Amino acid sequence: MKKSLKERLAILSDAAKYDASCASSGTVRRDSSSSGGLGSTEGSGICHAYAPDGRCISLLKILLTNFCIYDCAYCVNRSSSNVERARFTPQEVIWLTLEFYRRNYIEGLFLSSGIIRSSDHTMEEMVLIARELRTTHNFTGYIHLKTIPEASAPLIEEAGLYADRLSINIELPTDKGIAKFAPEKRPDGIRQSMGKLRLKIEEMAEPTLQSKRRKKFAPAGQSTQMIVGADGTSDATILGTSARLYGSFGLKRVYYSAFSPIPDSSRNLPLIKPPLMREHRLYQADWLYRFYGFEIGEITASQPDGMLDLDLDPKLAWALGHREQFPVDVNRADKERLLRVPGFGTKTVKGVLSARRFRRLRLDDLKRLGVSLKKVQPFITCEGWTPHRLVDRPDLAAMFQPKPEQLSLL
Amino acid sequence: MMYRYSLRGRGDLTEWRDAARAYLMAGIVPDVIEWRTMDDADGLFGFDDNNLPPPHEAHPPLSVPPSFIRLAGAVICHSDPTRFALLYRLLFRLMHGRHLLQMASDTDVVAAQRMAKAVGRDYHKMTAFVRFKELPLPAGTAGRRRFFSWFEPDHFILARVAPFFQRRFTDMDWLIATPKGSASWDGETLRTCDEPAEKPDLKDETEDLWRTYYASIFNPARLKVKMMTKEMPKKYWKNLPEATLIPDLIANAEASVIEMGKRAASEPLPFHHRIQEAAARAPVPSAPAAGTLSALKGEARHCTRCDIHCLATQTVFGDGPADARVMVVGEQPGDQEDLAGKPFVGPAGKLFNDTLAEAGIDRCSLYITNAVKHFKYVPRGKRRIHQKPNMGEIRQCRWWLMQELELVKPEVVVAMGATALFALTDMRQKLEDVRGEPMALADGRILFVTVHPAYLLRIPDEAQRMRELDRFRKDMNAVQRLVRARAPYRSGPPNAS
């Protein structure tokens, strides 16, 4: 008997939940007031709900189908898994997107799919959905399409005309890992697709000679995801792969997804609690690399095995290993040095730079800027405050270690 | 004397601004003004008690930085009764120092920024957590679909946020009711009023599908309740259809993970075996005949002779006719070449193309390749910084270059830059010493040395660059003459590719 729409929605959203990305930000501003249709995007994304896993629900994140001819060990939808299978028709996906959107449940659609028959066949159906939403239904909300590995170039180009963001998941940080866990995927093919996509995005962003207007092509760029903890790859290797991806393909984001046990799991994979703290530290390190001027090597040098310290955030770990660079004078240090102070974020640094033009800053000023004094005090000097060689204290690290907790069993 | 001023206090900046302007022109200091709203507990004062100083005709117009207007527009929506006095204090102080708002750690500035931030958050949460329910049209009627929402904001933000909903939901009628007023849209007019509304009791069947989605997208193995309640505080839950599921989802999370663990690795269904068999039967694409350029290119795709391949996107092999009379050798692919998989397509390639066109050479007649076939770089943020290949790497990659020479058999080989020269001859001479003079290679071919076009792009001095460009063009002309001077057809049989 055919499953109801509700049953299939349950299956095909359950199948999509291992994709970490749900962002709806970074695209162009547009709205429906001139078109008379439905939808708007206003720069920053909106999280319309949060699930008890703490993750933002911004988009209707579903699979077109969870039938798949690939057999990637880490994936809940791999062909050898015994999960229930289902598929939507394109019309059903369109209906769900529009009805959810009208009720303000979502910012738009994040559509992915298992690979059925061939890559092109699957990609064609996904492009059809995006095209119908944009043209027939006058929908100006957010659309994120997962591009299918090996899909042909014209289809990817058409996808980019309708979608805000395109993405393709590298999934594992090393080619060796991909060969082991995703035998049908070709890592060099995935990277070449990302490369082509970057060239296309850049080409379309050039103003045309005639109209001087830039064409819209995947205005929110491309992103990818890596699974963390399915194999033994170190954090240093993972972050090295990220640096390569950011530099080579202009990715907007690399998502890290702590490997989470899946139903009917393959025997090759660990049945563990997802390493959430590790995932968190990787995101922090990723931010240090992209917004704080750190090199990957600096971030991962603090531990000999290339893993990030789970007890200390990576910036603090770096500072404790480089005490000779502290204390930093809040009233004189340049932006690059301020950004390296544990406890200072980019906004704080902006506030400090602005405020100190008018007066010499004291601890009180920093407190009003929202800084946790306890955290920054050992690392800074300011008017009326010198840390008295605090940074040399042998127990400095211990001051920041989390309180010991009783171990809990899974 | 003391001044007293009562406001409606519903997030409207103009009523405060008009009064503040009058006080400021009269030079009234902040301490002597008592700002009140109609909601104040004692309710003793009405608008009739408002006392303003007499208007100052001669006073020059007041001006404030636009950033203050923006800040005040947000702060005025806050529900804190001290907001009017705070704004007046800031305004008064601004008259003595226009940079006040940039003093990010000033007590008043911090207080105002906090209020603005709270209003911003309330606005944002309203755009996120409003839930529309459809009001069915009366049977037999057609028209725009109608939706209704009940929401409880903390601050007076309705008029501020209503245009967001208009921009977003243009093609439907909607009404948002709140205890602080309501907003509506009918396709033509956006209306807002600040009369308190009451919560109605409505049903919408689509909510059931939404709850299904909410429950299924949740991953019970990653329970992080604190993170959820930080972003979706409980005060919003009563108006969110999905929130009724939360307690059960949390309570059953652990059990469902354990249940999942027990269901490890069962026997795959026949579907899987059919796919595996089909994949095994799929014909292997036939490889190009050995000893051709295509075969060589295919082999080079998986080259790991040196470590550069680890970071590169792909091997960028030579490109051009297999019987080209001229082979051009550059250094290594750059950023764009690495992505496109073709040599000389980036900025240096464009310059090279232009020069060829001016010299009257058809690029398609050349075989263009590089001494090193992978892009060597270090990632630096969003960019890749080009690194020169070292001798070991050039020697390793010579393996491919020599085979290209063997197969293409060019009459003239153009080395662009020192790396190409070293790869072809092992010479480590200064380019200037050998540039522009045709030399004989061991096998009778002619070697012609010139600069790499990327070098021309890096010359900062405009005049010098023009001179160098001109020399480069003349070099290309010289190559052209060299080829013309030789017999147009080679003696041996043409190469197949």
Amino acid at A205: A
Q: For an interface test with B, which of A103, A298, A373 has the most B Cβ atoms less than 10 Å from its Cβ?
A: A103
Q: HSE of A21 in the Cβ direction (CA atoms, 13 Å)?
A: 27
Instruction: Provide the domain count of chain A.
Output: 2
How far does the CA of residue A91 sit from the closest CA of chain B (Å)?
16
Q: What is the pLDDT of residues B327-380, one digit of tens each?
A: 999 999 999 999 999 999 999 999 999 999 998 899 999 999 999 999 999 998
Domain presence at residue B233: yes
Q: Nearest chain A Cα to B187, which residue?
A: A36
Q: For an interface test with B, which of A12, A44, A48 has the most B Cβ atoms less than 10 Å from its Cβ?
A: A48
Contacts of A29 (CB under 8 A, 6+ apart): A41, A42, A43
Q: Round to the nearest angstrom and report the end-to-end CA distance of chain A.
A: 39
**Run of H or E residues at A257:** strand A253-258
Going from the C-alpha of A3 to that of each of A60, A63, A86, A112, B205, the distances in angstroms are 20, 16, 8, 20, 19
Domain presence at residue A277: yes
Are A331 and A235 in the same domain? Answer: no
Are A238 and A371 in the same domain? Answer: no
**Is B224 within 8 Å of A52 when comparing Cβ atoms?**
yes
Rounded (5°) CA angle B104-B106-B108:
115
Are A20 and A141 in the same domain? Answer: yes
Are B90 and B20 in the same domain? Answer: yes
Closest CA to A155 of A182, A187, A193, A189: A193
Q: What is the pLDDT of residues B52-91, one digit of tens each?
A: 887 777 777 788 999 999 999 999 999 999 999 999 999 9
- pLDDT band for B491, please (50, 70, 90 cuts): very low
Are B350 and B404 in the same domain? Answer: yes
Are B382 and B439 in the same domain? Answer: yes
Domain presence at residue B285: no
Are B362 and B218 in the same domain? Answer: no
Q: For an interface test with B, which of A35, A44, A50 has the most B Cβ atoms less than 10 Å from its Cβ?
A: A50
Residue where one domain finishes, among candidates B126, B153, B172:
B126
- pLDDT band for B45, please (50, 70, 90 cuts): low
Whose tokens are 């690194």? That residue is: B387
pLDDT of residue A410: 38
Are A242 and A374 in the same domain? Answer: no
pLDDT beyond 50 at B492:
no
**Is A261 within 8 Å of B260 when comparing Cβ atoms?**
yes
Q: What whole-number distance in Å separates Cα of residue A28 and Cα of residue A40?
A: 10
How far does the CA of residue B275 sit from the closest CA of chain A (Å)?
6
Closest CA to B132 of A53, A136, A98: A98
Count of Cβ atoms closer than 10 Å to residue B223 Cβ: 20
Domain presence at residue B38: yes
Are A146 and A275 in the same domain? Answer: yes
Q: Which residues of A touch B217 (CB under 8 A)?
A: 13-14, 16-17, 51, 57, 61
Are A120 and A246 in the same domain? Answer: yes
Are B68 and B168 in the same domain? Answer: no
Cβ–Cβ under 8 Å, residues A282 and A275: no
Are B211 and B188 in the same domain? Answer: no
Residue where one domain finishes, among candidates A271, A300, A329:
A300
Q: Is the reported ipTM for this assembly greater than 0.90?
A: yes
Domain that holds residue B61: 3-126
Q: What whole-number distance in Å separates Cα of residue A151 and Cα of residue A168?
A: 11
b/e per residue B147-168 (b: at least 16 CB within 10 A): bbbbbebbbbbbbbbbebbbbb
**Is A17 within 8 Å of B215 when comparing Cβ atoms?**
no
Are B109 and B18 in the same domain? Answer: yes
Q: What whole-number distance in Å separates Cα of residue B432 and Cα of residue B452?
A: 12
Q: What whole-number distance in Å separates Cα of residue B271 and Cα of residue B269?
A: 5
Q: What whole-number distance in Å separates Cα of residue A175 and Cα of residue B69?
A: 55
CA torsion A341-A346-A350-A352 (nearest 10°) is -30
Contacts of A179 (CB under 8 A, 6+ apart): A187
pLDDT over 90, % of chain B: 72
How far does the CA of residue B474 sit from the closest CA of chain A (Å)?
31
Mean pLDDT of chain B: 91
How far does the CA of residue B102 sit from the closest CA of chain A (Å)?
6
Closest CA to A308 of A297, A296, A299: A299
- pLDDT band for B41, please (50, 70, 90 cuts): low
Distance from the Cα of residue B193 to its chain's centroid: 39
Domain presence at residue B379: yes
Of B133, B216, B272, the CB nearest to A79: B272
Q: What whole-number distance in Å separates Cα of residue A369 and Cα of residue B210?
A: 40
Q: Which residues of A touch B164 (CB under 8 A)?
A: 40, 42
Q: Which residues of B touch A257 (CB under 8 A)?
A: none
Q: Which residues of B touch A371 (CB under 8 A)?
A: none
Domain presence at residue A410: no
- Average of pLDDT values for B21-38? 91
pLDDT beyond 50 at B493:
no
Interface size, chain A vs chain B, as Cβ–Cβ contacts under 8 Å: 253
Identify the three-state secondary structure at position B244: helix
Backbone dihedral region of B255: left (phi > 0), alpha (psi from -120 to 50 degrees) or beta?
alpha
Q: Where are the beta strands (DSSP E) in B239-386?
A: 326-330, 366-370, 377-380, 383-386
Cβ–Cβ under 8 Å, residues B440 and B410: no
Closest CA to A167 of A90, A111, A214: A111
Domain presence at residue B218: yes
Q: Nearest chain A Cα to B228, which residue?
A: A54
Are A288 and A381 in the same domain? Answer: no
Tokens of residue A85, six digits? 């299978």
The answer to whether A197 faces chain B, any CB pair under 8 Å, is no
Are B464 and B419 in the same domain? Answer: yes
Q: Which residues of B touch A36 (CB under 8 A)?
A: 170-171
**Is B314 within 8 Å of A195 when comparing Cβ atoms?**
yes
Are B339 and B449 in the same domain? Answer: yes
Are A141 and A230 in the same domain? Answer: yes
Of A16, A33, A42, the CB nearest to B170: A33
pLDDT over 70, % of chain B: 95
Distance from the Cα of residue B347 to its chain's centroid: 23
Q: Using DSSP, how many helices (H) and how many strands (E) does chain B show?
A: 17, 14
The answer to whether A92 faces chain B, any CB pair under 8 Å, is no
Are A226 and A122 in the same domain? Answer: yes
Residue where one domain finishes, among candidates A244, A272, A300:
A300
**Which pairs from B351-360 meet CB under 8 Å and 24+ separation?**
B351/B453, B351/B456, B351/B457, B352/B453, B355/B453, B355/B469, B355/B472, B355/B473, B355/B476, B356/B476, B358/B473, B358/B476, B359/B473, B359/B476, B359/B477, B359/B480, B360/B480
Domain presence at residue B460: yes
Of A10, A47, A102, the CB nearest to B172: A102
Of A14, A96, A368, the CB nearest to B216: A14
Q: Which residues of A touch B166 (CB under 8 A)?
A: 33
Are A258 and A325 in the same domain? Answer: no
Are B178 and B213 in the same domain? Answer: no
Are B309 and B398 in the same domain? Answer: yes
DSSP string covering B55-103: P-SSPPPP---HHHHHHHHHHTTS--TTHHHHHHHHHHHHTT-TTGGG-
Domain presence at residue A405: no
pLDDT beyond 80 at B460:
yes
Q: Which residues of B touch A244 (CB under 8 A)?
A: 311, 379
pLDDT beyond 70 at B239:
yes
Q: Which residues of B touch A358 (CB under 8 A)?
A: 99, 102-103
Are B334 and B465 in the same domain? Answer: yes
- DSSP code for B154: S
Tokens of residue B113, six digits? 């920024």
Q: For an interface test with A, which of B213, B252, B338 has the most A Cβ atoms less than 10 Å from its Cβ?
A: B213
Identify the three-state secondary structure at position B268: coil
Domain presence at residue A57: yes
Q: What whole-number distance in Å separates Cα of residue B437 and Cα of residue A24?
A: 60
Cβ–Cβ under 8 Å, residues B145 and B136: no
**Is A196 within 8 Å of B339 when comparing Cβ atoms?**
yes
Are A269 and A385 in the same domain? Answer: no
Instruction: Provide the domain count of chain B.
Output: 4
Tokens of residue B16, six digits? 């405060």
Q: For an interface test with B, which of A100, A105, A136 has the most B Cβ atoms less than 10 Å from its Cβ?
A: A105
CATH number for the domain including A180? 3.20.20.70
pLDDT of residue B423: 95
Per run of 10 residues, the mean pLDDT along chain A (length 410 residues) is: 93 93 88 92 92 95 94 90 93 98 98 90 95 97 92 92 94 92 91 93 79 78 93 94 95 93 76 87 96 94 90 93 92 96 95 92 93 93 85 73 55
Domain presence at residue B280: no
Are A229 and A153 in the same domain? Answer: yes
Q: For an interface test with B, which of A80, A109, A252, A278 has the most B Cβ atoms less than 10 Å from its Cβ?
A: A80
Tokens of residue B215, six digits? 């429950």
Q: What whole-number distance in Å separates Cα of residue B454 and Cα of residue B165?
A: 52
Count of Cβ atoms closer than 10 Å to residue B128 Cβ: 23
Domain presence at residue B44: yes
Domain that holds residue A116: 5-300
Tokens of residue B320, six digits? 């051009």
Decide: residue B221, CB within 10 A, 0-12 exposed, 13-18 middle, 19+ buried. Answer: buried
Count of Cβ atoms closer than 10 Å to residue A17 Cβ: 20
pLDDT of residue B47: 66
Q: Which of residues 217-276 of A touch B (CB under 8 A)?
A: 243-244, 246-250, 258, 260-267, 271, 273-274, 276
